[in-house]
Amino acid sequence: MTIFKKIIDREIPADIVFEDDQCLAFRDISPQAPTHILVIPKKEISAVDALSEEDEALVGHIFLVIRKIAKDEGLSNGFRVVTNNGLLAGQTVPHLHFHLLGGRPLNWPPG
Q: What is the secondary structure of 71-98 as a DSSP string?
A: HHTT-TT-EEEE---STTTT--SSS--E
97 is catalytic: yes
Question: Whole-number minimum distance, CB 37 to ligand 5GP, in Å?
Answer: 9
Question: Whole-number minimum distance, CB 3 to ligand 5GP, in Å?
Answer: 5
Candidate list 36, 61, 95, 97, residue with the active-site label? 97
**Considering only CA atoms, which of 23, 31, 32 is closest in space to residue 4?**
23
| Interatomic CA distance for residues 100 and 70, integer angstroms | 8
Distances (CA, A) of 45 to 4, 18, 32, 74, 95: 11, 19, 24, 29, 6
Kindly identify the residues of this chain, within the stretch 45-74, that bind ligand 5GP according to CB under 6 A. Answer: none
Using the rule CB under 6 A, give the single segment among 24-32, 53-61, 67-75, 103-111 that binds ligand 5GP: 24-32
Q: How many residues bind ligand 5GP (CB under 6 A)?
A: 13
Helix/strand/coil for 111: coil
Which residue number, 29 or 50, has a Cβ lying nearer to ligand 5GP? Answer: 29
Question: Whole-number minimum distance, CB 95 to ligand 5GP, in Å?
Answer: 8
Q: Is 86 in the site for ligand 5GP (CB under 6 A)?
A: no
| Residues designated as active site | 97
